[in-house]
């Protein structure tokens, strides 16, 4: 009887480890990719939701809209990074224009995806106020990354466009 209990316990531990690995792999891959491609280092979030993606296959061109949920302590550490620009009266319109540009570009990049991108953003809007932060990177091939941090909601909205 003891051997059966030990085997069952060992089997359950193995299943838990494998399940945790699968769960964490998506988070780790996404966060590691941003570090590799954009030199942006973010901790693993509590929750990650890929709201929209048109990136598929090689060479992985397209657009991705991801929402990351963090806790208060994580957001405070993220705010300490020197990547952020303040959203204030002068930059508020800039952030709105960058979001609209992402919505338009993502649709143009992958016309064969039957997703109403406007509806995606209506159901999952990028929420920010004048007291929040953002970061924007644009490289030579017109690939871009827009990251908006909402301090109150403890969320980061990431819009990545790979050309």
* Higher local confidence (pLDDT), 53 or 26: 53
pLDDT digits (tens, 9 = 90+) for 112-159: 455 566 778 888 999 999 999 999 999 888 889 999 999 999 999 999
Backbone torsion region of residue 70, taken as left when φ is above 0, otherwise alpha when ψ lies between -120 and 50, otherwise beta: beta
pLDDT in tens, 76-93: 999 999 999 999 999 999
Q: Is the pLDDT score of 25 beyond 50?
A: no
Looking at residue 109, its pLDDT comes to 46
Closest by CA to 146, choosing from 90, 88, 83, 89, is 83
Greater confidence (64 vs 112) lies with: 64
Q: Render the chain in DSSP notation, one character per residue.
A: -HHHHHHHHHHHHHHHHHHHHHHHHHHHHHHHHHHHHH----PPPSEEEEEEE---STT--EEEEEEEE--HHHHHHHHTSTT-EE--TTTHHHHHHHHHHHHHHHHHHTTTS---HHHHHHHS-----TT-EEEEEE-TTS-EEEEEEETTTTEEEEEEEE-
Displacement of CA 140 from its chain's centroid (Å)? 22
Q: What's the pLDDT at 60?
A: 67
CB atoms within 10 A of CB 101: 14
**Band (24; pLDDT cuts 50, 70, 90):** very low
% residues pLDDT > 90 (the chain): 42
pLDDT at 27 > cutoff 70: no
Q: How far apart are CA 36 and CA 108, in angstroms?
A: 25
Tell me what pLDDT residue 23 has: 44
Q: Which two tokens stand for residue 34?
A: 């941003």
pLDDT value at position 110? Answer: 47
Strands 144-150 and 85-86 turn out to be unpaired
Q: What is the mean pLDDT of residues 59-64?
A: 76
Structure tokens at 92: 């508020």
Domain that includes residue 141, residue range: 2-162
Number of domains in the chain: 1
Which residues on neighbouring strands pair with residue 53, listed in sequence order? 64
């Amino acid at each position: 009887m003891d051997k059966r209990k030990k085997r069952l316990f060992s089997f359950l531990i193995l299943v838990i480890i494998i399940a945790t690995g699968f769960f964490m792999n998506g988070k780790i891959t996404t966060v590691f990719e941003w570090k590799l491609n954009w030199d942006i280092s973010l901790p693993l979030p509590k929750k990650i939701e890929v709201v929209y993606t048109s990136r598929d296959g090689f060479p992985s061109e397209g657009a991705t809209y991801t929402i990351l949920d963090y806790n208060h302590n994580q957001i405070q550490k993220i705010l300490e990074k020197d990547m952020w620009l303040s959203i204030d009266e002068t930059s508020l319109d800039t952030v709105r224009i960058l979001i609209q540009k992402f919505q338009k570009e993502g649709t143009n990049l992958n016309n064969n995806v039957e997703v109403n991108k406007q509806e995606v953003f209506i159901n999952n809007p990028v929420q920010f106020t004048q007291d929040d932060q953002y970061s924007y990177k644009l490289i030579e091939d017109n690939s871009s990354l827009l990251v908006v941090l909402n301090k109150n909601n403890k969320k980061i909205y990431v819009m990545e466009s790979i050309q």
